């Protein structure tokens, strides 16, 4: 099976930012650029998922449409690449995707990027402890989740593995489990809000 992944030279530090991107928006760019800067990453790959098992899929645009929108948005930033490889390998859960990347791209240094809202529900993800043990995690602050996310079940379970924010640039080289919570300018944009706005205008 041939799987199409963005090109990457050995040793590069790659941030993995997964989601439905339904649709992609400026908030995704904000998170990616913040991660590139604060984590000293070389690239960020947007992993456009076939569908989130924890979300309603009835409003989900086709994978092709979502990838096209993501590529159009990221076109001006060569550090951001878009891939739909999860559909190609038949992955339904993040743990499967990350394990596959670890096996097939062992020469890259990966960091999983998530919003603080995702950390708040991380304990509901299938194999969340396995994810934390597979690669370092970077949590990006989101409005309304600054305090609740770090008090959530998964964050508490992993609290002894949290790095100081001042050491964020070393996260990609840290042996997992390791994670950092990045504060800073926050974006309140969301794909759900954009879809609702479009629906109201229709």
pLDDT band at residue 44 using 50, 70 and 90 as cut-offs: very high
pLDDT at 191: 47
Q: What is the pLDDT of residues 56-109, one digit of tens each?
A: 677 899 999 999 999 999 999 999 999 999 999 999 999 999 999 999 999 999
Give residue limits of the domains in the chain. Answer: 13-200
Q: What is the pLDDT of residues 3-41, one digit of tens each?
A: 999 999 999 999 999 999 999 999 999 999 999 999 999
Q: What is the pLDDT of residues 127-164, one digit of tens each?
A: 999 999 999 999 999 988 888 999 999 999 999 999 99
13-200: CATH homologous superfamily? HUPs (3.40.50.620)
Q: What is the 3-state secondary structure (H, E, C) of the chain?
A: CCCCCCCCCCCCEEEEEEECCCCCCHHHHHHHHHHHHHCCCCEEEEEECCCCCCCCCCCCCCHHHHHHHHHHHHCCCCCEEEECHHHHHCCCCHHHHHHHHHHHCCCCEEEEEEEHHHHHCHHHCCCHHHHHHHCCEEEECCCCCCCCCCCCHHHHHCHHHECCHHHHHHHHHCCCCCEEEECCCCCCCCHHHHHHHHHHHC
């Amino acid at each position: 099976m041939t799987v199409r992944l963005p090109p990457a030279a050995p040793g590069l530090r790659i941030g993995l930012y997964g989601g439905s991107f339904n649709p992609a928006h400026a908030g995704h760019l904000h998170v990616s650029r913040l991660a590139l800067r604060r984590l000293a990453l070389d690239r960020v790959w947007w992993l456009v998922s076939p569908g989130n098992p924890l979300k309603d899929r009835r409003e989900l645009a086709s994978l092709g449409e979502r990838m096209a929108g993501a590529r159009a948005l990221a076109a001006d930033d060569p550090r951001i690449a878009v891939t739909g490889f999860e559909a190609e390998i038949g992955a339904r859960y993040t743990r499967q995707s990350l394990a596959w990347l670890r096996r097939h791209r062992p020469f890259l240094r990966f960091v999983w990027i998530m919003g603080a809202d995702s950390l708040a529900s991380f304990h509901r993800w299938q194999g969340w402890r396995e994810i934390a043990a597979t690669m370092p995690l970077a949590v990006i602050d989101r409005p309304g989740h600054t305090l609740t996310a770090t008090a959530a079940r998964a964050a508490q379970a992993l609290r002894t593995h949290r790095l100081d924010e001042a050491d964020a640039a070393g996260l990609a080289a840290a042996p997992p489990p390791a994670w950092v919570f990045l504060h800073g300018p926050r974006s309140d944009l969301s794909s759900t809000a954009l879809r609702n706005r479009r629906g109201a205008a229709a």
